[in-house]
Amino acid sequence: MTTKMTTKTNERERSREWYDRAQQSLIEGVNSPSRGAAVYSPGPVVLERGRGSRVWDLDGNEYVDFMMSFGALIQGHAHPKIVEVVSQTMAGGSHFAAATPAEAEAAERFQRMVPTAEAVRFTNSGTEATMLALRLARAHTGRTKFLKFEGHYHGWYDAYCLNGNSHPADQLGPRENPTRFPDSEGIPASVFDDVVLAPWNDLEALESILRQHGPELAAVITEPIMANMGCILPRDGYLQKVCDLAHQFGALFILDEVVTGFRYAPGGCQQRYGLKPDLSTFGKALGAGFPVGAVAGPRAILDRMRWGSGMVLHYGTFNGHRLTMSVIAVNLDLLSANDGAVYKQIYGIGDAAVAGLRDVFRRRKIDAVVQGFGPMFQIYFTGRDAIRDYRDYCQYADTSKYSRFIHRLLDRGIYMTPSNGLHWIISTAHTMQDVETLLVAADEVCAEMA
């Protein structure tokens, strides 16, 4: 690794000024807590523009971006083909709230990439997609309860807002009957009467819980990779077993690919792990930076949205937004070109970053593990050999140390969220030079921390 020192970018006077100004009109100066002082200390880096793998803040400081809008920017910033299609589409009208060819063109490309998508319905966000998936599952099964896992995030819909944040390990309760922690005020306690909670990556506990509640469940919903506590991989064969157990009790298996869809393979994690979910949800990378979600699955389930008596209602003025559909079409064309060759590039760069970071921590004698591979990974400061579930994360991950590590990387031109519960993202715009820049900065920070 080169010994070249990074250039510090910790002069952010205009960011501080704009953040102070924004607090006069916005709650905490932001529109989502993950962007503000809840994560960044003393306040956020205020970004002004981006291109490729780089972003610039209001003071002109340049960063290599490894957050990539929490994974939405699969093609990086301002990809020329996306800029071109946005300009062309806008010139003809961005949105009509009417039927357009763009909707079908986006859906056809989606179907070609996701084998389980006999049909697809577009929504405006990942949260809307998971809401719709649950409504469809309830209508299809005639049941109301569903099972979710500790630590998984499926959007901010009321029923999903349970045990999505970390809590002290000694308060979590038994694995077969976890303590229930609502993630938000303003949600009636009765909402959670229909939620069955289980630990993830633990088949024995899941089987025990399903023996008690299985016949009542409309669905079991899971992320394929636990992306709300960093990047926690499923145990070998675990996801297929979850699917099989759901079906054993007559419940649908919903795979939430809002984070992983179109990222790990053209067909997402369901392709990589050989899964056939009853319903799957998508967002983030699908829109390449534009807000969108989607529900995909068999017509036997999605046809329940056909107009008529007893239909599953799903309205939305901005569903199938013409501009977003045009972006999706070009984005999926880019990802599927040459039999998805771009995924080899993403994996190569991501795996080099993971291997390099592991080497830095080893040489600097820092207790840390780097989990994940290819397009997504996370660092945990821990003496453990791995973080395998939500309870490991709550007990063993030093999230304060991680935050300090990231703030020092920010000062060296590496843009990443200081929240340990999120993850590092590799886009098609990243290069091996970006990895080298990251490793030099990480080595400097580890030298200071050691």
Q: Which residues are catalytic?
A: 153, 256, 284
Q: Is residue 76 within 8 Å of 82, Cβ to Cβ? A: no
Question: Of 279, 8, 322, whose CA–CA distance to 132 is shortest?
Answer: 279
